[in-house]
Structure 1
Amino acid sequence: MRVEYPPEAMSGTDFYRFLTSVVIPRPIAWVSTITPDGSTENLAPHSFFSIASTDPPIVQFTSIGRKDSLRNVEETGEFVVNFSSEPLLHLINATAVDLPRSVSEFEAAGIEREASRTVRPPRVAAAHVALECRSHTTLRMGNCTLVFGRVLHAVVDEDYLVDDRPSSELLRPLTKLGGDEWGTLGRVLHLNRIPYEEPGTA
């Protein structure tokens, strides 16, 4: 027997909990931003994250409500996506605390920063990959805002490259599941795509 979950009969919070329990695993954008006057750096995880375009390279994360990350991007036009890896789980979770905008998560969680090359927000020094982005556009959708950023510069620690490509097994990506659940990479399957062949050409 199937259990029905009609969105119109549920509260937004309840259906949010359902959606985030079935749209899994979700990659995590660990987004660093800075206030316009440069006085405070913000760092927060966003688990609604993906690639929006490859040419030009554009990534996208979603702010549920008006988070500090969104406000800073709107006012400065810049952000950095730091790679969320399994060894950084507790630091990432520590930056999910809803601190006042005037308090830096870098400082509160004791996270080492490093300067970015093309934008003002710093990178997380311990993150093996970082994408420096300039805001491309934002799109309001319901109670959320989608933030699109053009990747201006990318860096990867050389120890995590195999054949000049970042290795997922070495990077050990961290993902978000439902509720307080987090996911790790687990078993990696390798399977070649099946090419299409015109009938009669085999």
Structure 2
Amino acid sequence: MKLYYTPAACSQAAHIIARELGIPLELVRVDLARHVLADGSDFHAINPKGYVPLLVLDDGTALTEGSVILQYLAGLHPGVVAPAPDDPARWKLLEVLAFISTEIHKGSSLLWNPAVTDPVVREILVRKLGANLALLEGQLADASFLVGDAFSVVDAYLFVLLNWMRIKQFDLSAWPRLVAYHARLSARPSIAAALQAEGLKK
């Protein structure tokens, strides 16, 4: 399988999960600023959506959308980084996955967009993101992970987004459990290996 990725982008969540599960991937780096691959070829020719992640299976099937790719990879080893299909806990995981994808990922992405300069709009975005982070903070009150008692796809996804916030110097001090959670996950071997492979950690 090939994972088309950009360092530190949301494709990193799929990269982490593949390493967590021991799934071999060929990593293909994408320059999202120019939408080209290392050989200069047009990324749009492979993925008309123009963004990562893109997972190309061994039979040539192309999958896009991070949450779908995470579920596909998890399905290769049922019950390890996501509840098995017949486990009722799967619905809670899908709920949290959807929340992270729509509310945290998309909500925070607007803050990093240099075109969003209106201070009123930015304040609304900050308040909304803060309220959503508070919900996740609450979920970690008596837990080490977001769903159940083990690392899952939602933890990999949220780690990447919290890392964005750290890189962008978004103040997370109001949510100390999330800060501690991010620090714990940073030490996880699969995460450390993915960061190193993407050139983000020595």
Bin of the TM-score, shorter chain as denominator length: under 0.3
**Larger Rg computed on CA atoms:** 1
Q: Which has the higher helix share?
A: 2
TM-score under structure 2 length normalisation: 0.24
TM-score under structure 1 length normalisation: 0.24
Q: Which has the higher strand share?
A: 1
